[in-house]
Structure formats: structure tokens, C-alpha cells
Amino acid sequence: MTTNHLARTRAALDGVVNSRTGQGLVASGMIDALAIDESTGTATFTFLLRRDDPATLVRQARQALIDAGLPHPRIQVTDPAGPPKTTHAAPQSAQAGVPAPTPMEIPGIGRVIAVSSGKGGVGKSTVTVNLAVAFAESGYRVGIIDVDVHGPDLPRMVGVFEKPMSQNGRIIPLEAYGVKLISIGFLIDRDAPAIWRGPIITKILHQFLHEVEWGELDFLLCDMPPGTGDAQLSLVQQVHVAGAVIVTTPQEVSVGDALRGAKMFEKVNVPVLGVVENMSGFIDPVTGMRHDLFGSGGGARLADELGVPLLGQVPLQAGLVDAADRGEPIVIAAPTSAAAVILREIADAVRHQVAASGVALPILE
Ligand SMILES: Nc1ncnc2c1ncn2[C@@H]1O[C@H](COP(=O)(O)OP(=O)(O)OP(=O)(O)O)[C@@H](O)[C@H]1O
Ligand SMILES: [Mg+2]
């Protein structure tokens, strides 16, 4: 019985070919510590996924086992080269003479993912909020830090305007759509001018990372302000960032800015997980035809240039702005819309990229 399961499992896994090696997953040496539960036939194994392997292989492996009539496997994905964090170069501080702190792991806050771009208004906050809600819908424990202390958009985008409570000197994060949230927008008056200088941003971020009662999270998404300034530096200096998602529009100018934004993360050895092209054409709801209003192909060009995957192209979505202004992310307001479907696919792709970059994710079945 076990041998049978074992043989079938190995055969199914070898039926999935890795384009890098031209061989099946077992023959490619990607399956380690394969064990079969005798009573159920459930396979447990470690998937050794290199950074230059397609992250979709994990999903294909899972599907191949299911297609072969075997139970859902338990897969731990790791990078045989190990996580990239040990090579973290401490970036120079924006303030000359201030030594850059060494980024650290903060227990409990899970994988920190920065959603960034070089340019304003391309959809960072939209992507952050929708990815977070999509993660939460899949059962992950998620938080968002609104790192945009000058123009905190998070409260409006999720329709939460309360002041967070504090308990035993710790801030209790607010919550919407199953996602825990913190933003300077919750703490100051809505119309107060938010003019902060570098050291204050560092302090606020430190407080958000260390003094908020996050509980146990799987992912902490950071909605970054545009550019490559103090906030980006401060984040990568203070915490180990598992990866950055770069948002761009299809236009060339936005791509150039995004490239500079992405390079900044690469310089400090934060892996760029991939590119999201937002406002990528408009799909006519009547004819279903796609119109490229802002040019096309920018996301793919940027991804190519960075050698990272294009995680998805989110179309301009009618009603998204109104829904966002009502505090409803599009994955909630119009869950079957093209934008919502693609944003959920992007959430899956981000999870795979994080796993592929060497940090094991919890197994959710
Ligand atoms: N795919 C989309 N379809 C339609 N509208 C969109 C889309 N993505 C974002 N928007 C709208 O575009 C505007 C800018 O988006 P968003 O605030 O997410 O950008 P941002 O990059 O976070 O901006 P900032 O740099 O100011 O923080 C918002 O009004 C948002 O609702
Ligand atoms: Mg924003």
C-alpha cells in the first residue's frame, strides 16, 4: 500500500517537468524528505525550489498529485541556497553620520512585504489593500502598515477612521476585512498637515513595528510612499523585508521611475518578488474588448529588465475608485470583476515568490 502510494507519488511528481533541467521534479533533485502517511496516502515533502526555477512548479506539483487521485500533499518550499537575508547589506542612512541600524527579524509579524513604486498614484495602496484582503480570504493572518506618513490613504481605503486603543502601553491595531491595520491617519486629525522629517519617520515606523499588538501574522504588507526616500530606507534598515512588489503603470515614464525604485531594494539585498502592472488597459464591460489607454507592455519590460516575474496586469476597473472611496476594496466590492480576479491571482503569485525566495510558508489546506 505504502510502496504503491510512494511509487505513484514519485511518478506524478516526475510527470511535472522543470524547464530549467528538462527533467521531472524527482529526477531534477527537487523533492527532498518525501514521506507518505500510511493510513491516508498523504505525501509530505520539501520542495527545493531555486530562485531561477519557475515558482508555478509548486502549484503544478500539487495539482499533479491531486490529478493522480492522491490526497492533497503537505509541501514545505525552501530555496536550497538558503534565504537571502544573511547577505543584507546595511544601507547608508539618509541622515549623514547616523549609523544604519541592522535589519532584524521581529517575532510574530511574519513575512514583511513592501509594496512600492517610484512614482505616485500608480496604485500601491490599491494593490496593498486588495492583496491583504485576498490573503485574509485564503486564511492567512495579515497586517498592513501604512508607511505613507505624508499622505496616509489606508483609513479611507478601508473606511476605518477610529482611533486605535492602547493596552499595557501597546497599540491595538484596527481591523477591516480580516486584516489588521495601522496608519498615522488613525492617530492624527484627518486635516492635520503631516510634515515629518526622516528621523520622525524612523520613529513612527519603529513604533508601528514594535509597539503594535500584531499578535501572530503570516504577512505584514507595507504600503510605501512613492519614491526611494526616507521611508524606504527606514523600513529596510529596521526590519528584515522578505521582498518588494513593484507597482507600475504601462507608461514608459512610470516604468523608469519604478526601475529606480526597484533597484533601491536590490541594492540592499531585498529580493524584488515581481512587478504588478496596474491600470493596464480598460476592458469595455459591454464588448469585453480591451483598450490600452496608457500605452502597453511597461510591466513586462520592467519585469524583464529586473529579471523578475510579471505578477499580473490589473485593468482599469470601472467603479474601483468609487468603491475605494466608500472604503471597499475591489475584491470585496466586485469580487468577480476582472481587476478582483487578477488581484487574487497576484496574491497567489506573491505567496509563491515569497516561498521561492527561501522562506517557508505555513501549509494551509
Ligand atoms: N486598476 C484601477 N482601476 C481604476 N482605478 C484605480 C486602479 N488602481 C488604482 N485606481 C485609483 O487610482 C488612484 C490612485 O491609486 P492609489 O491611491 O492606490 O495609488 P498610490 O500609488 O498608492 O498613490 P500614492 O502615491 O498617492 O500613495 C485611486 O483613486 C485609486 O482608487
Ligand atoms: Mg498610496
Task: Choose one of 60, 78, 96: the last residue of a domain.
Answer: 78
28 and 172 part of one domain = no
Residue with C-alpha cell 549623514? 96
pTM of the full predicted structure? 0.73
Q: Considering the domain boundaries, does residue 365 fall inside one?
A: no
Residue with C-alpha cell 524528505? 33
Tell me if 329 CB under 6 Å of ligand 1: no
Region 89-112: mean pLDDT is 60
Instruction: Report how far ligand 1's centroid is from the alpha carbon of 122 (Å).
Output: 6
Tell me if 226 CB under 6 Å of ligand 1: yes
| Percent of the residues in the chain that have a pLDDT greater than 90, as a whole number | 44
Instruction: Report how far ligand 2's centroid is from the alpha carbon of 320 (Å).
Output: 15
Give the Cα separation of 130 and 343 in Å (integer): 7
187 and 98 part of one domain = yes
247 and 115 part of one domain = yes
Q: Is 109 exposed, middle or buried (0-12, 13-18, 19+ CB in 10 A)?
A: buried
155 and 242 part of one domain = yes
Could you tell me the pLDDT band of residue 75, with boundaries at 50, 70 and 90?
confident
CA quadruple 225, 227, 230, 236: dihedral positive or negative?
positive
Could you tell me the pLDDT band of residue 123, with boundaries at 50, 70 and 90?
very high
- The residue among 236 and 201 whose pLDDT is bigger is 236
Residue with C-alpha cell 519617520? 201
Ligand 1, atom nearest to 117 Cα: 21
Tell me, what's the pLDDT at 86?
32
137 and 239 part of one domain = yes
Task: Choose one of 57, 78, 99: the last residue of a domain.
Answer: 78
Q: Is residue 115 pLDDT above 90, yes or no?
A: yes
51 and 191 part of one domain = no
129 and 40 part of one domain = no
Tell me, what's the pLDDT at 97?
38
Q: How many CB atoms lie within 10 A of CB 282?
A: 17
Domain of residue 311, CATH code: 3.40.50.300
Domain of residue 70, CATH code: 3.30.300.130
Could you tell me the pLDDT band of residue 112, with boundaries at 50, 70 and 90?
very high
Q: Which among 257, 235, 256, 276 has a CA at the least distance from the CA of 113?
A: 235
User: How many distinct structural domains can be found in the chain?
Assistant: 2
Q: Is residue 340 pLDDT above 50, yes or no?
A: yes
Q: Considering the domain boundaries, does residue 363 fall inside one?
A: no
Choose the most confident range, by mean pLDDT, from 66-80, 235-249, 255-269. 235-249
Region 204-221: mean pLDDT is 94
139 and 34 part of one domain = no
Tell me, what's the pLDDT at 254?
67
Could you tell me the pLDDT band of residue 79, with boundaries at 50, 70 and 90?
low
Q: Considering the domain boundaries, does residue 364 fall inside one?
A: no
Instruction: Report how far ligand 2's centroid is from the alpha carbon of 116 (Å).
Output: 9
Tell me, what's the pLDDT at 95?
40
51 and 101 part of one domain = no
Residue 199 domain boundaries:
85-356
